[in-house]
Amino acid sequence: MANLARRQFWPYTVAVANVVLALALMLGFDQWLGMKTTPFLLFFGAIVLSAWYGGLKPGLLATALSATLSQYFFMYPLQQWGITWPDFIRTMIFILEGICISLLCEAWKLEKQRATINLRQLKLSEERWNLAFSNSNITVFQQDQSLRYQWIHNPVGSNLPEAVIGKSDYHLWTTAIADQLTAIKRRVLETGIPAREEICLSSDETLNYYELIIEPIRESLEQIIGITGVAINITERKQTEQELKLAHQQVSEILENITESFFAVDRDWRFTYVNRKFEEVAGYSRTELLGKCIWEKFPKTVNSIFYKQYHQAVANQTPVTVEGQVNDDSERWFIGHAYPSGEGLAVYFQEISDRKRTQKILQETQERLGLALTAAKMMVWDCDLTTQQVVCSENSQEIWGFKQGTYQDFLNLIHPDDRESVLQVFRNAVVSQDLYLIEYRLIKPDGTICWLRSQGRVYFNPQSEPERFLGVSFDITEPKEMEETLRESEQRFRATFNQAAVGIAQVTVEGKFIEANPALCKITGYSHQELREMNFQEITHPDDLVQDWALAKQVLAREIPGFSLEKRYLRKDNSMTWVNLTLSVVWDDFTREPKYAVKIIEDISERKKVEAAQQFLVEASQILASSLDYEATLIQLAYLAVPLLGDWCIVDILKDDGIMQELAIVCLQPEKQALLCEMRQKYPPNSNQQHPFVQQIRLGKALFYSKIPPSLLEEIAQDHQHLQLLERLNANSLIIVPLRCRDKIFGSISFAMSESGRYYEPSDLSLAEDVARRAASTIDNARLYQETQQANRIKDEFLAILSHELRTPLNPILGWAKLLRTRKYDEETQQKALEIIERNTRLQVQLVEDLLDVSRILQGKLHLTITPINLISIIESAIETVQLAAQAKLIDLKFIIQENSESCPSPTPIFLDLNLPQYLQKKLTIPPQFLVSGDSGRLQQIMWNLISNAVKFSPKNSEIKIELSVIHTPDIYAQIRVIDTGKGITPDFLPYIFDYFRQADGAITRQYGGLGLGLAIVRHLVELHGGTISAESPGDNQGSTFTVRLPLLNRPQKQELIPQPNAGQNYDVFSDPLVLRGTRILLVDDEADTRDLVAFILQQQGATVEAVPSPLKALQVLSPFQPHLCIFDIGMPVIDGYMLIRKIRSLPADQGGEIPAIALTAYATEADQQKSLTAGFQRHLSKPIEPNDLIAAISELLQQAQNCL
């Protein structure tokens, strides 16, 4: 590295030294030569020396240093760094000159270096050339125009170059050879055209071949002064070529005779050789191929595998073997071996199409065998008994996880339970030298178990020793599982087949039964063996056979896959059954012919029966609902029921008198219907007969005889002729159902089977009962409709009567009230008017009370206050009430008491004097047996109603008897009879005399008044007391008798007969006008008239009254007024009386929370009374109020309040 650095920096050192030397010389000669005038003189020499020695860069360095030093030392101002423009220009010129000198020296140096390198290379090349030619068979020479050798290197033979120089070929060779050489050389001299010839030279009895190359030597373009030549010894090559030619001939003969195709191509892929086989394969002659490009001649091979591989062989210069097809339509296979060389490519190939086909067939066979083995799960195995090695086919690994191994390895795979049996089979096979077959289990490496079936043979060597086992094994795991599954499936199929609820059959294409299950046998009634001997046509209903066959032919023609059909079968007992048949055909997989048909037969008789029954019920309901004329609809129903429910049908209706009336007889056969009509005329139905049919019908029970026993006909026949008629009917099954609805029997409907041969089942009875219920409901609805119509008529009449009865009293009330206000009348007229107003007002009150009683009765809220009551007092009080009305019509009222109507043959009547003063209380000692337990007010209402009706409907100057007696039936009753000789009751109306809103006709109402409620109320009141009431009448205008029976008390006592006072009789409001003196009463009512009336009554009795119109006002005045008693209306707006009393009861006692209160309201029912008492009132008085009752209630409450204090 140090030497390299020195060599690199030495030229620069020389440059610096040269400049310094020039500077020193310039400074030394300055005083003598005046160097300041030529400041650059010696510096040019320094630059030249530096550039010549070091080149461009040292020259540039010397130039820069010289310019700097000359400016500093030799230009003015001296030794200062400053310069004038002329000096600057001179300096720049100097620098440019220095640069040019440096460039020239650099160029000269480079040329010198190149010349040195070229000279060195030339000497090296010459040395190499001399060395090469001295060891080669090449002779180089030069001759002049006279063909004398001027220079020669490596002369031919043993001659030295010095012995050849200056001589011609005639001096060195024989004349013949010299002539040959001279002719060639002379031609080049004459023509100037180089020559290249092969010549044969002989020397020392040896022949040498040379390749002679002669080139002319020109002094100028037109003058040739000699020749130069090269003689290359090609003797060895010629010998080699001859040998190669001989070899080529031999190879050609071989290539021409081989069975493989051969061709050779040069580097341009042109054919250089083809043998005869290639000509045959290619289809071209040799002349057509040689020199032609292979890819142009065979364009379809371009881009084929041969094309690619041949090019790859040439590129890599490595042999290749190619097998494939050319890209043509021949589908021919070739295998080629290509050997590249510098000259091209040699290829020999042969067609292997046949081999390929054979290989393909073999491969396909092998694949098929493998696939077959795999598909069949079969493997081939070979056990060498000498080496104990077992080898199996490829698929054995998949089948049992074992491909090869030892015999013991194979035995270890066998299931332990099967291993010994397998070994025994092997031993037996060795002994018997015969085939063996065994099934056993094998455990795979993954632990799964498979079944194998192995079959094979033991092979022996010539010494009769067992040498090998060879055989095949089948994987029968799936068949084993399928076998087990099939066995289970067969069991399930057999169980399903035998136990199926539907019929299943296999039938030939001709229709003959192959197999039939028990269900089908049950459906048809035939045994299994009988069905197998029959054809399906034999059990098919004739009407269904055509359609059945038509569908079967369509299935056999593959027009439809199968069919489902509802059809009828004829059973063995000749009965018919409906079935749903589903048929499909099983086809042969190979012949595609039908093997047999499978039939599924479902018994749908019940469904058909239900459908028919439902349809029948729908039609029956439509008929029954079509008209309210139930007799006409029942006749239509009977026609509809035949023949579905029977071969004949009879409808009987129970009339009101209890007699059965025949309504309809319908029969399939006219002669049978005539026979039934004849029997019914001679022996009509009678509900009073004491035979089982009538008794069962009365109880509402149906009669069901699935099969009529002969004894039944004898039991119901009235005589021998009747029995004969019954037997001629030939009825074998019978149903009689009562027409029953709401526990009422309206008649019966009868169905019977005869000529159809059918027998009734329980389902038929259910259907018949359903029909009977609907028919009975129709009868009941029709009658209810008639009754409803009648009730509506009665209601309309009642509303008219109610309007009449309510308006009639209002006419005199309003009329007299208006007259009294318009003018003044005398005292008698005023009293008459007031009596009329009071009487009609009380009449309206009574009408309202009757309506309220009916409401209580209908709601079950009519209550009795039970005490021991003497009937004589009740009757007398009622008689006193109607006495005036009786006297006005001159009717004689007689009250007759009979002591004992049962025990005394001649009862002694007791007549009471009815003309006694009404308010005279008298005591009579009478028999004690007329004591009953009851409500005195309600008993008096009963008697008053009966007696007042008798007076109302009796003509003038007639007589009315009231009889009281005791009867024993066997209980002891008091019997009251009211007997009149008046209008009487018609027989048609008599059953309805005690119904609500019922009167014989409207004329009675117009003539006598009333709502028709009295007797209905009486009946209910009597029944509440445990008694009975009845009415009797011979007819219109013949009088009537009403009888009431009431149970007597068990322990009668002697009683005093005290006549009951009428309402208001015990107190007169005007008898003591100041009874309420000092009493403060708070009155609340939203009706001003009622408020003023009540306030006036109370004020007349001396009370201080605060009357207000609303509960809010009452709450405001309650505390300052401090009333002793409150009277409140109930039905007031916003806040009613209930809310008001609850508000007051919530107050403290000192604020009025315990003030006695009376509810004075138009709500007069017992429920309203109970509600008032519950809300906090002490009394409940209904409007219109009797002043006496109001004052009495107030006095009682004030007295109770005083007692509490």
Q: What letter represents residue 486's amino acid?
A: L
- In a domain, residue 1069? The reply is no
- In a domain, residue 618? The reply is yes
At 1060, the pLDDT band (50, 70, 90 cuts) reads very low
Instruction: Decide: residue 803, CB within 10 A, 0-12 exposed, 13-18 middle, 19+ buried.
Output: exposed
Query: Percentage of residues in the chain with pLDDT exceeding 90?
Result: 7
The answer to whether the beta carbons of residues 696 and 710 sit under 8 Å apart is no
Sign, Cα dihedral of 171, 176, 177, 182: positive
In terms of Cα–Cα distance, which of 801, 895, 846 is closest to 1017? 846
Which range is most confident: 127-136, 395-404, 1129-1138?
Answer: 1129-1138
* Rounded Cα–Cα distance for residues 382 and 24 (Å): 116
pLDDT at 469: 83
Cα dist from 736 to 400, 739, 765, whole Å: 80, 10, 9
Which range is most confident: 302-306, 471-475, 1003-1007, 1078-1082?
Answer: 1078-1082
464-517 confidence digits (pLDDT tens): 888 888 888 888 878 878 887 877 777 777 777 778 888 888 888 888 988 888
The residues facing 602 across adjacent strands are 580
Q: What is the CATH number of the domain that holds 149?
A: 3.30.450.20
Average pLDDT on 411-439 reads 85
Average pLDDT on 51-80 reads 78
Cα dist from 159 to 41, 173, 268, whole Å: 68, 12, 46
Q: What is the CATH number of the domain that holds 1157?
A: 3.40.50.2300
The answer to whether the beta carbons of residues 563 and 571 sit under 8 Å apart is no
- In a domain, residue 630? The reply is yes
- In a domain, residue 118? The reply is no
The answer to whether the beta carbons of residues 406 and 386 sit under 8 Å apart is no
525-560 confidence digits (pLDDT tens): 898 888 888 988 888 888 888 888 888 888 888 888
**Shared-domain flag, residues 380 and 348:** no
**Shared-domain flag, residues 891 and 1034:** yes
Average pLDDT on 723-731 reads 82
Instruction: Decide: residue 647, CB within 10 A, 0-12 exposed, 13-18 middle, 19+ buried.
Output: buried
1073, two tokens: 């006008």
**Shared-domain flag, residues 1144 and 1042:** no
* Rounded Cα–Cα distance for residues 901 and 976 (Å): 12
In terms of Cα–Cα distance, which of 844, 1177, 880 is closest to 1057? 880
The answer to whether the beta carbons of residues 91 and 67 sit under 8 Å apart is yes
Last residue of a domain, one of 994, 1024, 1047: 1047
The one-character DSSP state at 929 is: G
**Shared-domain flag, residues 893 and 974:** yes
One-character DSSP codes across 884-918: HHHHHTT-EEEEEEES-TTT-SS--EEE--TTS-T
Of residues 967 and 1054, which shows the higher confidence score?
967
In angstroms, how far is CA 692 from the centroid of its own chain? 60
What angle in degrees, to the nearest 10, is found between the helix axes of 1166-1175 and 1137-1145? 30
**Shared-domain flag, residues 225 and 304:** no
Structural element, H or E, at residue 246:
helix 235-257
Structural domain span for residue 64: 1-113
- Whole-number average pLDDT of the chain: 79
Q: What is the CATH number of the domain that holds 997?
A: 3.30.565.10
User: In 3-state terms, what secondary structure has residue 606?
Assistant: helix
**Shared-domain flag, residues 1040 and 904:** yes
Last residue of a domain, one of 752, 786, 820: 786
One-character DSSP codes across 14-29: HHHHHHHHHHHHHHHH
Structural element, H or E, at residue 1003:
helix 1002-1008
pTM tops 0.95: no
1151-1179 confidence digits (pLDDT tens): 888 999 999 988 877 778 888 999 999 99
- In a domain, residue 129? The reply is no
- In a domain, residue 209? The reply is yes
Last residue of a domain, one of 210, 239, 268: 239
* Rounded Cα–Cα distance for residues 736 and 1020 (Å): 40
Q: Is the peptide bond before 907 cis (omega within 30 degrees of 0)?
A: no
Number of domains present in the structure of the chain: 8
Q: Phi/psi of residue 252, each to 5°?
A: -60, -45
At 126, the pLDDT band (50, 70, 90 cuts) reads low
Least confident of 75-84, 411-420, 1155-1164: 75-84
In terms of Cα–Cα distance, which of 1079, 1102, 1098, 1082 is closest to 1152? 1082
One-character DSSP codes across 735-799: EEEEEEETTEEEEEEEEEE-TT-----HHHHHHHHHHHHHHHHHHHHHHHHHHHHHHHHHHHHHH
Q: Is the peptide bond before 416 cis (omega within 30 degrees of 0)?
A: no
Contacts 24+ apart (CB under 8 A), 1175-1184: 1175/1137, 1175/1138, 1175/1141, 1175/1142, 1176/1141, 1176/1142, 1176/1144, 1176/1145, 1177/1128, 1177/1137, 1177/1141, 1183/1090, 1184/841, 1184/845
At 922, the pLDDT band (50, 70, 90 cuts) reads very low
764-813 confidence digits (pLDDT tens): 888 888 888 888 888 888 888 877 877 777 676 666 666 656 666 676 77
**Shared-domain flag, residues 55 and 104:** yes
**Shared-domain flag, residues 528 and 661:** no
- In a domain, residue 17? The reply is yes
**Shared-domain flag, residues 561 and 696:** no
The answer to whether the beta carbons of residues 656 and 679 sit under 8 Å apart is no
**Shared-domain flag, residues 781 and 640:** yes
* Rounded Cα–Cα distance for residues 1049 and 973 (Å): 9
At 917, the pLDDT band (50, 70, 90 cuts) reads very low
In terms of Cα–Cα distance, which of 169, 157, 224, 232 is closest to 197? 232
847-901 confidence digits (pLDDT tens): 677 666 666 666 566 667 788 888 898 898 888 878 877 888 889 999 998 865 4
**Shared-domain flag, residues 514 and 473:** no
Q: State in Å, rounded, how far the first CA of the chain is from the last one.
A: 154
**Shared-domain flag, residues 640 and 667:** yes
Structural element, H or E, at residue 656:
none
In angstroms, how far is CA 655 from the centroid of its own chain? 60
920, two tokens: 């005279």
- In a domain, residue 1176? The reply is yes
Confidence check: pLDDT of 977 > 90 = yes
